[in-house]
Amino acid sequence: MINPTAIMKIMNAKNKFTENHPKFAAFLNKVLSAGIQEGTIIEITVTKPGEEPITTNMKVLQSDLDLINELQDIAK
């Protein structure tokens, strides 16, 4: 069983994240609401202050989707 206090902490952290980064949260909602399919390419770039950007990408595999489904089932 999931601890209700832990759920409240997670929800508060999620709300703070959305408040601090509304554009990114909206982007994630749009992308995830349509679902991610096998073969989708996810690319991310991280730029630290004073450093060159680092970029990587991944092609979503069926095993990745299976992991996401398992995590969603646990969260229910």
Please give the model's pTM, rounded to 2 decimal places. Answer: 0.68
13 and 25 belong to one structural domain: yes
44 and 72 belong to one structural domain: yes
How many domains does one find in the chain?
A: 2
pLDDT of 57: 98
68 and 42 belong to one structural domain: yes
- Segment 24-39 shows an average pLDDT of 90
For 60, counting Cβ atoms within 10 Å of its Cβ (0-12 exposed, 13-18 middle, 19+ buried), the class is middle
20 and 41 belong to one structural domain: no
pLDDT of 69: 84
pLDDT of 75: 65
45 and 74 belong to one structural domain: yes
List the domain range (segments joined by +) for residue 1: 1-35
Q: Among positive and negative, which fits the CA dihedral 20, 26, 32, 37?
A: negative
Burial 9-40 (b: 16+ CB within 10 A, else e): eeeeeeeeeeeeeeeeeeeeeeeeeeeeeeee
76 and 46 belong to one structural domain: yes
40 and 29 belong to one structural domain: no
Range name among 7-11, 13-17, 45-49, 50-54 with the lowest pLDDT average: 7-11
